[in-house]
Structure 1
């Protein structure tokens, strides 16, 4: 079986990232070979550890597209290994790896956690038919919660005042937007919780009207 580094020209830093038995952090810009390096590291782990299968390696990506790309790159590399084998044992090894790739753990963090929960449905305290909430679903649910809150508290004086100032639909947009930026929203709330009315009026003029009240 040929060495993978002979097929793909790796830089010294990329070669260093293939060394086993230690953690490696790779920081680089787009198009600099991170996926190539990760592919080589993945295949090198399998080459150096004959008892391992793709199911023994957890690989987490940021996006589904990246997970699919990495899986395909690994598959291509395994095909190359199959073509270069020099013994029946080596062929059997890489043939099994190829067959097991679809069972490998190359996922986004959400997909990885979802798979673990589905594979261990008995132990996991979640409904069997659960699904992962995507961004669109989260936004819809968030607006539903805000709308229900406003309806439930429509007789509250503060809620009624906000409704008069903004209108119901725009108020829902504003509150949902604040929830989207919750850490920042809470920081601003804490900063202005004990502010004087004059301070608040001044900042409103500066932000909304672009007027520096100190020069008026």
Structure 2
């Protein structure tokens, strides 16, 4: 399979399956009135990309490409995800992506029990010899697309505003691809506490549109 076609498929906002059901914490900021329009959502998303997607997703992918044992890495990544809702969501979405990889794309199965979307994405792209930086860019772009579509529905913001957000994110993602090369295993899971606290508080929202 050609790398571009694979990345286009994997980076569609329909993946990971179930991603449309999750805000990954921004709904808590929405409930507090801190995220309320395209501008404030853009600010939140930039922090999310620079923290959670850099030090968890992107770094985990690079470490898998570097040859770190998949079982050990999966255990560490899941353990680093402290909010219970988000941890459960990641595992569920990752296992669905794993199934798609095996059944639709021909990726070899794995005996590793724990799963994370970034690692499953990297397993697929590595099998098809997609360069690591391209894989990271594809995964982060897909995540940004999914979150932006969720913001379009949830805040709401217009589709045109959503495209402006995605366009702004290109530079952030490019920066992540450079930063992740300078990190090591000890940096895995370094996330801004405010993001994690909001993700935990989301569990107790009285009314919510998203599962996390």
TM range (shorter): under 0.3
Which has the bigger relative contact order, CA under 8 A and spacing at least 6? 2
Normalized per residue, which structure has more helix? Answer: 2
User: Normalising by the residue count of structure 2, what TM-score does the alignment of the two structures yield?
Assistant: 0.26
* Bigger-Rg structure (1/2): 1
